[in-house]
Amino acid sequence: MLVKRGHAIKSVDKDSPAWRAGIRAGMRLAAINGRAVNDVLDYLFYAYDPELTLTVADAKGRRRAVTLTHEEGGGLGLNFEPGLMDRQRRCRNKCVFCFIDQQPPGMRESLYFKDDDIRLSFLTGNYVTLTNLSEADERRIITRHISPIRVSVHAADPALRGVMLGRPDGAGCMETLARLTAAGITIHAQIVVCQGLNGGEQLTRTLRELHALGERMESVSVVPAGLTRYRDGLYPLEPLTREAALDHISRAAAFERACCADELYIKAGLKLPPDKAYEGYPQLENGVGMTRLLITEFMDELNRSGITVSAKKEPFSVATGMIAGKYLTDLLNIAVDKCGTIKGNVYTIRNDFFGEGVTVSGLVTGGDMIRQLKDRDLGSRLLIPQNMLRNGENVFLDDVTVAELSAALDVPVRVVRQDGADLLRAMSGR
C-alpha cells in the first residue's frame, strides 16, 4: 500500500532509537501509534511514550510499521525537513515598531520573513501575538499542555493594541491569556513600549491586568522599541528618552514578576538590579538581565579560579555594541587589577548599518567593525560576542563572515560565548 502523505526524514542520529530500528534518511514518517503526524508538535506529543510503532514509507511510497522503544520523553533521533514539519506561519500584523520593516534593502531574503508561529514560541522562545491562533490551535495547546508560550502583549486595551499591531480586527488577547493560564499554561509576556503610545498609565494598566492572571503569568518584560534609520513612511515614533526610561522602570517595579530590559536602566542612568532580582533570567534572550548575568558569571569565575600568572601578555581587543561598552571596560579593569599581565582595549562599535539609535551588540555588523577598527591597534586577537553572529553560523547580519573580518583587520578573531566565564578565559588567553 502506498503512503501519499508523510514527512521527509532529513537525517537520523547514529545509534539513536530510530537508527537502531532501521529508519534512515530519505524515508517519510506518516504516523505514530496509528495517529497521523501533522507537524512537529504532533510528533513531540505522540513520540513521548516509551513504546512506539512508527509508520514509515520508503522512496517509492511503500509503507511499513517499525516498532521501537526509548526513554520516556526522550528523542527518537529523527530530523525533518522542514524542522516544523509544516509551513512556517507568516505574521499578518503591521506593527508600528516592527524591526523587520526598518531593515535596509539588499539583505538576504530570510531576514525579511515575519513569523508569528505558536510552535516556534514553544520550541525556540519566539514571541507571538496570538492573532494567528485559531480555536483549534488553542484547544491543542490546552489538551496537550504546550507550555511555556511567549506572547507579545504590548497593551491590555484592545483598541490601543489594535493601533500597535496595525490590525484592529484581531487586537484583543487578554481573554485568550486568561483561558490559557486558567488551563495551566505558563506564559512569558513582553511589552514593547513606544513613546507616546503604550507607556504611562497604559503601561500600568497592562502590567496590572497581566499580574491579575496569577502565577502562570510567570514573567513580564518591558522593553523599548528598537528604531533604525530606515523609517521613511512608517508610523512616527520618537526615540526613548531618559525620562521615559525612568517612568517605565518605576511602573514595572510596582508589580511582581515584571522586569525591564537592560537598555532601560542604562538609558535612565540607573544601576542594574542585582542577580537575584531576575529570578532565574526567564527573559534573557529579550535583553532582560543579559548584562547582569555576564557580570555575575565573570565574577564567579574570577573568584573560583582567578587568573593564572601564565595568562597571555600579548595585548588584545574586545568589540561590542555601545550599550555594553562601559560594563566590559569595568570587567577588563577588574581582570587587569587581578593580573597585571593582561592588557586589552574595549572598542564600542557605532551602528552605522541600522542607525546610531541601535546600540545592542547583537545587531553590530561585520562591515561596521571593519570600517571603525581598521586603523586601530588591536593587538594579538580580537574578541567578539557570539550574539553578533547568525545562530549556528559564522556570518554577521550584513553577510560578512568572521574569516573576512579577520582578514580585513589582519588579526585573529575569537568568538566568545554569551557567558562571563568564557569572557574571562578569552581575556586571559585560555
Are the beta carbons of 216 and 151 closer than 8 angstroms?
Answer: no
For residue 106 the three cell numbers come to: 539588499
Its domain, for residue 212, covers: 100-287
* Residues whose CB is less than 8 angstroms from the CB of residue 122 and which lie 6 or more positions away in sequence, other chains included: 41, 146, 147, 148, 149
- Residue 316 CA to residue 333 CA, distance in Å, equals 13
Among 259, 287, 315, give the residue marking a domain's end. Answer: 287
Q: How confident is the model at residue 340 (pLDDT cuts 50, 70, 90)?
A: low
Given a cut of 60, whether residue 1 has pLDDT beyond it is no
259 with 195, same domain: the answer is yes
Instruction: Calculate ∠ Cα 104-152-226, nearest 5°.
Output: 35
Among 287, 314, 337, give the residue marking a domain's end. Answer: 287
pLDDT, tens digit, 9 for 90 and up, residues 17-65: 999 999 999 999 999 999 999 899 999 999 999 999 999 998 888 889 9
pLDDT, tens digit, 9 for 90 and up, residues 392-405: 789 999 999 999 99
* 339 within some domain: yes
- Write down the pLDDT at residue 167: 87
Given a cut of 50, whether residue 2 has pLDDT beyond it is no
- Residue 257 CA to residue 383 CA, distance in Å, equals 34
Among 255, 287, 319, give the residue marking a domain's end. Answer: 287
* 95 within some domain: no
> Mean pLDDT over residues 96-107, rounded?
91
* 236 within some domain: yes
Residue 66 one-letter amino acid:
V
> Does the CA dihedral 278-283-289-290 come out positive or negative?
positive
Q: How confident is the model at residue 343 (pLDDT cuts 50, 70, 90)?
A: confident
Selection from 188, 182, 430, 149 nearest residue 311 by Cα: 430
* 247 within some domain: yes
Does the pTM surpass 0.95? The reply is no
- Write down the pLDDT at residue 312: 56
Are the beta carbons of 318 and 369 closer than 8 angstroms?
Answer: no
329 with 245, same domain: the answer is no
3-state secondary structure of 355: coil
CA 271 from centre of chain: 24
179 with 327, same domain: the answer is no
pLDDT, tens digit, 9 for 90 and up, residues 150-173: 999 999 999 999 999 998 876 789
- Residue 363 CA to residue 162 CA, distance in Å, equals 28
* 92 within some domain: no
pLDDT, tens digit, 9 for 90 and up, residues 56-87: 998 888 889 999 999 998 999 999 988 888 88
62 with 107, same domain: the answer is no
Supply the DSSP symbol for 378: -
- Write down the pLDDT at residue 308: 62
130 with 276, same domain: the answer is yes
